[in-house]
Chain A
Amino acid sequence: MSASPVRDQPARAWPRRRSLDPADVDLRVQLAGVALPNPITTASGCFASGVEVDRFYDVTELGAIVVKSVTREPRAGLPTPRMAETPSGMLNAIGLQNPGVDAWLARDLPWLQDRGARVVASIAGNSVEDFATVAGRLRGQPGIIAIEVNLSCPNVEERGLVFACSATDSQEVIAAVRAEASVPVLAKLTSDVTDVVSIAEAVVDAGADGVTLINTLLGMAIDPDTGRPELWNTYGGLSGPAIRPVALRNVHQVHQALPDVPILGCGGARTVEDVVQFLRAGASAVAVGTATFVDPFVGPRLIAGLRTWCAERGIAAVTDLVGDVQPWR
């Protein structure tokens, strides 16, 4: 390939403005019409229901708490082993263990409400009706600022095909949830599809107020000696820094195609620089999952670090970063 000579010149180099007092940096963001004090949230299934991490710090400092997915009925989940570590990541197959929406409302939500947390309820199901029923139960609950719809669930009515892999199935779920919900609805999508943009367009058409990108990637590991899969379930979801480049690509593609659709970026975020990358790619806020397992304090550390990062570069508002990718050509 005959390339034209490229001069090694950064498109735009920081610092280009004078540094600021960190206290003057505005970290507030809007996510699907909801105001958050900062863009750092938890990722569903990686924060249980909040009380566990509150032993370490005040979890209401977080922009929002995305809680573990709840279903219509309680779920026992899968047998162990449920987890296997892989290079810079991990596989999990939990099987959506949760107490069911009614027990969650009775036992877990009140604590979050008392603490004044901003709660994003995550819902899961195996049929359109499942999702709609759970969404209906959540209607009018104080403290719930949005519903995230975990579409990475097998659809029993479609021979177990995952909702998020089909534009029409995803659309049906989102339309049903939208009809029941009293708060903004985020559709959580998977990268395990041919064209994530077409799925994103479909859910937005069906009434989603935003999208969460991405859920885990389906993966596998085998014990070379015993020949057994590392997970009881054979396959599991890959998360952690290993998937960050894939997550960023998804966020960027959807933001380029649908610049007005709010995105909650998710997948492997661990450092302030990771968060900045997600914002630049087009995310309005960033959900942090697996990093919490490694560092219980990752949330407040990222909030403080983002403030300093912006201050040092003279960035007055974190929203200035959203979608700011400088093209090579």
Chain B
Amino acid sequence: MSTQRSGTVQGRPDLDTPVQATCEVLDRRREGAYWVLSFAAKEIAERAQPGQFVSLAVQSPGALLRRPFSIARVSQQGVAAGTVDVVFDAHGPGTEWLTSVRGHDVLDVVGPLGRPFPMPRRKVGCLLIGGGYGVAPLLYLGETLRREGLRVDMIVGAATQARLLGVIEAKRLSASSVFTTEDGSYGTQGRVTDVLEAVVAHGRTGVVYACGPNAMLRAVSERCGELHLPVQVAVEERMACGIGVCFTCVLPIRDRAGNVHLRRACLDGPVLNGARIAWEDTRYGAPSARTPAGEGGDA
């Protein structure tokens, strides 16, 4: 069913042993404005960690490249053991095609790929900030943090109520949850960064994890910088390969000495230290300005 071989990328076992697998689709259903796709992928489920992604071959006409999606959930136990879920927004030919797959269809999947969210080294409060479908990997992360006995708070944002993902799960998972919509159709009107400081204050937040459009991640990273909070963000960049061989997915990252290097988001990311990203050298957002969301998302 799949092939795998262990090796080491620059001596970093956290990046190791993705597999390519032919996976049976178990379910494809709507969730608000999004779609949830579940498939059987035992080897991927075994290896997956929150923040990693899978890349799916799509069969829309003329499409050549795989499409990357964050892992939204994996089941290790019970009847659904070995199942991987992704949540996606259908907005282009490849994702439109994915809405047409049916149970028992097969998908060609490579994963898990990329650097996962690092677990906190100490017992601290964890604030999870998700925008649009970016909430999906954070719910997976939240479950993991909770199992470690850590406090989880969540801020979930979207343009409008229909695009808020995981409201029920966020409430169930977290000690406190705040919802923002730009049009005020649900929760607080505004953006996730508008409520960040208040949530940090009462959640005794020691670390922030965020996923959503890059413009949102920039705003969150900058706000966390001002508040002296460590922040880990899961970025999106166009990826031709997802496995580290093409160098299309780079982001400018500052090293300890302050020098900026273009690093591969598919290999060194997608989870990156938000404070290390040289956002001013990217095309994403502007300091705390109201910029249109980056490609493929909303928050």
Query: Residues of A contacting B281 with CB < 8 Å?
Result: 79
* Of B17, B240, B248, B282, the contact of A55 (CB 8 Å cutoff): B17
A287 to chain B, nearest CB (A): 14
Q: Establish whether residues B237 and A80, one from each chain, have CB atoms under 8 Å apart when the complex forms.
A: yes
Interface of A is mostly: loop
Which stretch from B60-68, B114-122, B162-170, B220-228 is at the chain A interface? B60-68
Q: Establish whether residues A293 and B65, one from each chain, have CB atoms under 8 Å apart when the complex forms.
A: yes
Residue-wise, chain A 24-55 has the 8 Å CB interface mask toward B (1 for contact) of: 00000000000000000000011110011111
**Is the C-beta of A85 less than 8 angstroms from some C-beta in chain B?**
yes
- A293-B241, A297-B3 known; A92 vs B246 contact (CB < 8 Å): yes
Query: Residues of B contacting A271 with CB < 8 Å?
Result: none
In B73-122, which residues have CB < 8 Å from any A CB?
Answer: 110
B67 to chain A, nearest CB (A): 10
Residue-wise, chain B 1-28 has the 8 Å CB interface mask toward A (1 for contact) of: 0011111111000011111100000000
Query: Residues of B contacting A232 with CB < 8 Å?
Result: 283
**Is the C-beta of A58 less than 8 angstroms from some C-beta in chain B?**
yes
Query: Residues of A contacting B251 with CB < 8 Å?
Result: 80
Q: Establish whether residues A90 and B247, one from each chain, have CB atoms under 8 Å apart when the complex forms.
A: no
Tell me, in angstroms, the Cα distance from A46 to B246 when the chains sit together: 5
Q: Establish whether residues B57 and A294, one from each chain, have CB atoms under 8 Å apart when the complex forms.
A: yes
* Of B237, B241, B250, the contact of A97 (CB 8 Å cutoff): B250
B115 to chain A, nearest CB (A): 14
Tell me, in angstroms, the Cα distance from A53 to B18 when the chains sit together: 10
B155 to chain A, nearest CB (A): 27
Q: Establish whether residues A241 and B238, one from each chain, have CB atoms under 8 Å apart when the complex forms.
A: no
Tell me, in angstroms, the Cα distance from A85 to B58 when the chains sit together: 13
Q: Establish whether residues A296 and B7, one from each chain, have CB atoms under 8 Å apart when the complex forms.
A: no
Tell me, in angstroms, the Cα distance from A254 to B243 when the chains sit together: 34
Q: Establish whether residues A55 and B7, one from each chain, have CB atoms under 8 Å apart when the complex forms.
A: yes
Tell me, in angstroms, the Cα distance from A45 to B247 when the chains sit together: 8
Tell me, in angstroms, the Cα distance from A144 to B4 when the chains sit together: 28
B252 to chain A, nearest CB (A): 8
Tell me, in angstroms, the Cα distance from A317 to B245 when the chains sit together: 32
- A92-B246, A94-B248 known; A55 vs B16 contact (CB < 8 Å): yes
Tell me, in angstroms, the Cα distance from A77 to B251 when the chains sit together: 11
Q: Establish whether residues A294 and B65, one from each chain, have CB atoms under 8 Å apart when the complex forms.
A: yes
Q: Establish whether residues A48 and B250, one from each chain, have CB atoms under 8 Å apart when the complex forms.
A: no
* Of B57, B237, B242, B245, the contact of A53 (CB 8 Å cutoff): B245
Residue-wise, chain A 79-90 has the 8 Å CB interface mask toward B (1 for contact) of: 111111111111
Q: Establish whether residues B18 and A56, one from each chain, have CB atoms under 8 Å apart when the complex forms.
A: yes
Residue-wise, chain A 56-88 has the 8 Å CB interface mask toward B (1 for contact) of: 111000000000100000001101111111111
Q: Establish whether residues A290 and B248, one from each chain, have CB atoms under 8 Å apart when the complex forms.
A: no
Q: Establish whether residues A56 and B5, one from each chain, have CB atoms under 8 Å apart when the complex forms.
A: yes
Query: Residues of B contacting A52 with CB < 8 Å?
Result: 9, 243-245, 267
A268 to chain B, nearest CB (A): 10
B235 to chain A, nearest CB (A): 11
Tally of contact residues, A, Cβ under 8 A: 40
Tell me, in angstroms, the Cα distance from A80 to B5 when the chains sit together: 32
Tell me, in angstroms, the Cα distance from A45 to B244 when the chains sit together: 11
Q: Establish whether residues A81 and B64, one from each chain, have CB atoms under 8 Å apart when the complex forms.
A: no
Q: Establish whether residues B240 and A54, one from each chain, have CB atoms under 8 Å apart when the complex forms.
A: no
Q: Establish whether residues A76 and B262, one from each chain, have CB atoms under 8 Å apart when the complex forms.
A: yes
B52 to chain A, nearest CB (A): 14
A153 to chain B, nearest CB (A): 16
* Of B5, B64, B261, the contact of A90 (CB 8 Å cutoff): B64
Q: Establish whether residues B248 and A47, one from each chain, have CB atoms under 8 Å apart when the complex forms.
A: no
Q: Establish whether residues B20 and A293, one from each chain, have CB atoms under 8 Å apart when the complex forms.
A: no
Query: Residues of B contacting A86 with CB < 8 Å?
Result: 62
Q: Establish whether residues A90 and B9, one from each chain, have CB atoms under 8 Å apart when the complex forms.
A: no
**Is the C-beta of A292 less than 8 angstroms from some C-beta in chain B?**
yes
Query: Residues of B contacting A45 with CB < 8 Å?
Result: 246-247
* Of A53, A77, A92, the contact of B240 (CB 8 Å cutoff): A92
Q: Establish whether residues B245 and A97, one from each chain, have CB atoms under 8 Å apart when the complex forms.
A: no
A226 to chain B, nearest CB (A): 10
* Of B16, B247, B267, the contact of A94 (CB 8 Å cutoff): B247
Tell me, in angstroms, the Cα distance from A77 to B3 when the chains sit together: 33
Tell me, in angstroms, the Cα distance from A240 to B3 when the chains sit together: 24
- A80-B250, A81-B238 known; A55 vs B245 contact (CB < 8 Å): no
Q: Establish whether residues B243 and A77, one from each chain, have CB atoms under 8 Å apart when the complex forms.
A: no
Tell me, in angstroms, the Cα distance from A286 to B235 when the chains sit together: 35
- A56-B4, A80-B237, A83-B240 known; A293 vs B9 contact (CB < 8 Å): no
Quick one: which of B15, B18, B238 has the most chain A CB within 10 A? B238
Residues of A within 8 A of B (CB): 45-48, 51-58, 68, 76-77, 79-90, 92, 94, 97, 232, 240-241, 290, 292-297
> Could you list 28 A-B pairs, sorted by A, with CB under 8 Å?
A45-B247, A46-B245, A47-B245, A52-B267, A55-B16, A55-B17, A56-B3, A56-B20, A56-B243, A57-B5, A77-B247, A80-B248, A80-B251, A80-B282, A80-B283, A81-B283, A88-B64, A90-B64, A92-B248, A94-B247, A232-B283, A240-B64, A293-B241, A294-B57, A294-B65, A296-B20, A296-B110, A297-B20
The 9 closest A-B pairs by CB, nearest first: A87-B62, A83-B248, A293-B241, A52-B244, A54-B7, A82-B248, A48-B245, A55-B7, A293-B240
